[in-house]
């Protein structure tokens, strides 16, 4: 499935480049360059991370007195560059730092607590922290609708995910079993991004960019180095042979401040 998505992203990009090049040859304009800084948030799928079960005793944590959190919302903070070869067509280059959580702390931990019966009745828990980034290069089309400046982008993106995990399992006799803990498990995958934006003028050279979109960004395998220096894959749970995926797929909304290096009096000048 991941290979199919990668192939589709590459084929789609080649078709878009061809279409953009044809359009560029028909209507040449002065080139224009811009930069933007953006902050946003969205919904992350994260099914494997949220469904992770470190031990059979966690299968029904509600009976055990569970305190369970899940990761679905997250933030993104990034920088983007725009290159417009003509008025209605160009390219967007961007980098976004992705994190699960709220904008203040830029991180959130998924945690499941289980209080085992018998013995000391001590608390056991599994805690995971997720972060990552995306790097994209996409063609973009610009439109004017009722005096509003709109744009549309679609194309491939590279995704990197990182997962830290801490597990503490205490049995009924009070013995600890911390196996399964690790730091900095990483993986990379090819996905794609699609978004539409609205640009509102703040001055002759600064603009507010509002962007709504979605991404397919499932990093399906993470690798970490164990205490013996050997690389291992992260699995969905202790009884599964399937690898655990960190999935940033979902919808997002961003706000950005954009400025152009070469503003002109006859191209996207704010209305008087």
3-state SS string over the chain? CHHHHHHHHHHHHHHHHHHHHHHHHHCCCCCEEEEEEEEEEEECCCHHHHCCECCHHHCCHHHHCCCCCCCCEEEEEEEEEEEEEECCEEEEEEEEEEEECCCCCCCCEEEEEEECCCCCCCEEEEEEEEEEEEEEEEEEEEEEECCEEEEEEEEEEEEEEEEEEEEEEECCCCCEECCCCEEEEEEEEEEEEEEEEEEEECCCCEEEEEEEEEEECEECCCEEECCCCCEEECECECCCCCECCEECCEEEEEEEEEEECCCECCECCCCC
Domain coordinates in residue numbering, the chain: 2-260
Q: Are strands 223-225 and 246-247 parallel, antiparallel or unpaired?
A: unpaired
Closest CA to 81 of 206, 263, 259, 270: 259
Q: What is the pLDDT of residue 27?
A: 43
**Taking residues 197-212, what's their average pLDDT?**
90
**Taking residues 216-245, what's their average pLDDT?**
86
Q: How remote is the C-alpha of 179 from its chain's centroid?
A: 29
Q: What pTM was computed for the model?
A: 0.79
Evaluate whether 71 touches 14 at the Cβ level (below 8 Å). no
Q: What is the pLDDT of residue 20?
A: 46
**Residues 150, 154, 32: CA angle, nearest 5 degrees:** 55
CATH number attached to the domain at 2-260 = 2.40.160.20
Average pLDDT across the chain, whole number: 77
Token pair, residue 191, equals 């996905």
Stronger pLDDT, 56 or 150, i.e. the higher one: 150
Stronger pLDDT, 208 or 52, i.e. the higher one: 208
Q: Are strands 182-201 and 148-170 parallel, antiparallel or unpaired?
A: antiparallel
Closest CA to 90 of 260, 211, 214: 260
Closest CA to 189 of 17, 1, 46: 1
Stronger pLDDT, 57 or 132, i.e. the higher one: 132
Say if residue 111's pLDDT is above 80: no
**Residues 61, 223, 49: CA angle, nearest 5 degrees:** 25
Q: Give pLDDT tens digits for 135-168.
A: 999 999 998 888 788 999 999 999 999 998 888 7
């Amino acid at each position: 499935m991941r290979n199919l998505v990668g192939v589709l992203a590459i084929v789609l990009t080649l078709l878009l480049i061809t279409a953009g090049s044809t359009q560029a040859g028909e209507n040449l304009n002065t080139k224009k360059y811009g930069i933007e800084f953006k902050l946003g948030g969205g919904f992350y799928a994260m099914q494997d991370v949220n469904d992770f079960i470190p031990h059979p005793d966690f299968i029904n944590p509600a009976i055990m007195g569970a305190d369970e959190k899940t990761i679905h919302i997250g933030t993104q903070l990034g920088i983007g560059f725009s290159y417009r070869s003509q008025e209605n067509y160009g390219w967007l280059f961007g980098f976004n730092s992705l994190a699960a959580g709220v904008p203040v702390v830029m991180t959130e931990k998924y945690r499941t607590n289980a209080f085992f019966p018998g013995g000391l009745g001590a608390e056991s828990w599994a805690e995971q922290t997720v972060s990552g980034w995306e790097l994209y290069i996409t063609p973009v089309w610009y439109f004017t609708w009722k005096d509003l400046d709109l744009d549309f982008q679609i194309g491939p993106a590279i995704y990197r995910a990182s997962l830290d995990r801490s597990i503490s399992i205490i049995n009924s006799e009070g013995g600890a079993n911390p196996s399964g803990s690790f730091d900095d498990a990483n993986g990379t995958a090819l996905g794609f991004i699609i978004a539409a934006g609205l640009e509102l003028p703040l001055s002759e050279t600064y603009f507010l960019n509002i962007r709504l979109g979605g991404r397919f960004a499932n990093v399906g395998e993470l690798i970490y180095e164990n205490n013996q220096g050997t690389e291992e894959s992260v699995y969905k749970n202790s009884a599964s042979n399937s690898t655990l995926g960190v999935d940033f797929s979902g919808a997002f909304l961003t706000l950005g401040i954009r400025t152009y290096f070469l503003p002109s009096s006859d191209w996207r000048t704010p209305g008087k």
